[in-house]
Structure 1
């Protein structure tokens, strides 16, 4: 960690502790993502840890129930974080460890505060919304919960094309990761009272909340549910195909990290399919040895890329959310009456 902070030019002792806290959150909660992050150049890693650590910290405020805490209490805590975050962005720093690191990262890399506004908006949605009627409604949530993470990380990774060209692909990769989680965690989300699958697309297969809950209680996957999940699985595959087109747009030093994360997350989809969508009885995971194998190949590519002596620009290009969208993606319609995949998640 010291070498990473030194390489990134982070010298203030308190700030170094703040970044260390974010790295700890990343290592504990995001095994696949943390492994991929280790393939970045040392100078890039602290910023990515800060962005992930902040997202994880806020997500826990919303999702982790504490004794005697109500939804109103969690909403108040989220509002307090938002107020402190934006005040810190205005004044250049914070005394709260996680906020100190993410604010420093935001200022160093010129991140637009609207990306944080969109993220916090989606976190608030989790306190009041339990179902999404259609793809457009789910996209609005995913815009803030996942796409903005890809957009925040993009200036840290750097690109060989204008940032606005690579941005839709970066947003789509964050979205693909999130959609993968939705499929893997159907049972866990049901236990929290939530469904992150478009209700109208489920209904086209005769699936509703009651049937999903029945599958959860019985520990089996009804044929209608299997067909609905297979359709969501295919949609997610198509998002990955669009997202992967952005990897060659990244700086060569950053490509092995992103490619490794994409491969490992797609293999979660492989395991879901191989298990015949038995998401109510098992959680699809990529084994330790497979993760190590993919990461090892990525490390070889990363070390080769670093030999070029690449130096990051001091003021990387800033991504403007207004031009960032995967709405230009056009995909063929799925079979049945479910609508074709369309992104946007319009803010």
Structure 2
């Protein structure tokens, strides 16, 4: 199956095939749900998605899963080294690192803007020192580099039936919606890492501070002020999903089922949060397995029909 994907993508050089294979293995090992989602894309699209995922995963783990004994200064130094190495290799058009080799090839094949990667590094640096965001403007500055640019990076791979610049705002909004959903679901988990990704002024408006969130996390219970705050955040996220939705129809038909399924499952997390009366502290909110299987089966059916009707050129 890997050989078929590489052949379909026109990747023939042995060192490139090995580089993309290493990215695929990383995705399969660490991003199982994401890896399964890539199966809804055409074989030709998958290597690039694996490369972009591997790049983001490596940097995210560097910040969020540091080696024992690491300090903020040592992680910052590693991040700077990774940044300088990546952009140096990108300028040279080659790398000795397999993951970078695959990413550089993907960037060149699909014309992905370099500034998307610069913004991603900026947000990764913010995670080393920023533990809260005073308002939504500050949070969105972080989210642009950590979530929106992910949508913008994969957009050329997914393909569009309109100008890429027309689809870009919707792709960025979808990346933001997914991350905001994670922030809301994982309040307790992020708090344990010393971070709060809900705007401070919006929490203040409901009488909620870090100590109150900490009480909810410790007791796995939710009080009225926090419930109102979580409900208000959910409503804001719904509005971002609404901004993103028109972009699905702008994608190439073979890419729509994959993105539509992700849209359905992630927005379904908000449904589950609401069904739990907004108590995101009692346990990790998940979409039921039956619903996930139904969505996946439906998407695979749509994928096969789309490939038959309008194959990727």
TM-score norm. by structure 1 comes to: 0.87
| Shift in Å, 1:309 | 4.8
Task: Measure, in 2, the Cα distance between the counterparts of 1:269 and 1:211.
Answer: 22
- Equivalent position SS for 1:246: helix
Q: Residues 118 and 148 of structure 1 are in contact (CA less than 8 Å); yes or no, is this contact kept in structure 2?
A: yes
Task: Measure, in 2, the Cα distance between the counterparts of 1:226 and 1:245.
Answer: 30
Task: Name stretches of at least 5 consecutive residues in structure 1 with no aligned partner.
Answer: 313-347
Task: Measure, in 2, the Cα distance between the counterparts of 1:271 and 1:21.
Answer: 36
Task: Map 1:269-308 onto structure 2 (within 5 A).
Answer: 269-308=270-309
| Shift in Å, 1:290 | 2.4
Q: Which residue of 2 aligns with 1:257?
A: 258
Q: Which residue of 2 aligns with 1:138?
A: 139
Task: Measure, in 2, the Cα distance between the counterparts of 1:127 and 1:189.
Answer: 13
Q: Which residue of 1 aligns with 2:51?
A: 50
Q: Deviations over 1:35-88 (max 9, x none)?
A: 322111110011111111111110000011312110111111111111111111
Q: Which residue of 1 aligns with 2:153?
A: 152
- Equivalent position SS for 1:95: coil
Q: Which residue of 2 aligns with 1:111?
A: 112
Change (3 A) 1:131 1:236: same
Q: Deviations over 1:229-271 (max 9, x none)?
A: 1111111111111101111111111111110111111111111
Task: Measure, in 2, the Cα distance between the counterparts of 1:137 and 1:25.
Answer: 32
Q: Deviations over 1:128-166 (max 9, x none)?
A: 100000000000000000000000001011111111110
Task: Map 1:122-271 onto structure 2 (within 5 A).
Answer: 122-271=123-272
Q: Which stretch shifts more, 18-27 or 100-109?
A: 18-27
| Larger proportion of helix | 2
Task: Measure, in 2, the Cα distance between the counterparts of 1:102 and 1:114.
Answer: 14
Q: Residues 32 and 291 of structure 1 are in contact (CA less than 8 Å); yes or no, is this contact kept in structure 2?
A: no
Task: Measure, in 2, the Cα distance between the counterparts of 1:308 and 1:84.
Answer: 43
Is 1:69–2:70 an aligned residue pair?
yes
- Equivalent position SS for 1:276: coil
Task: Measure, in 1, the Cα distance between the counterparts of 2:32 and 2:17.
Answer: 22
Report the RMSD for the aligned CA atoms in angstroms: 1.3
Q: Deviations over 1:284-332 (max 9, x none)?
A: 12243322211111111111111135333xxxxxxxxxxxxxxxxxxxx
- Equivalent position SS for 1:280: coil
Task: Name stretches of at least 5 consecutive residues in structure 2 with no aligned partner.
Answer: none
**Length, aligned pairs only:** 312
Task: Measure, in 2, the Cα distance between the counterparts of 1:135 and 1:164.
Answer: 25
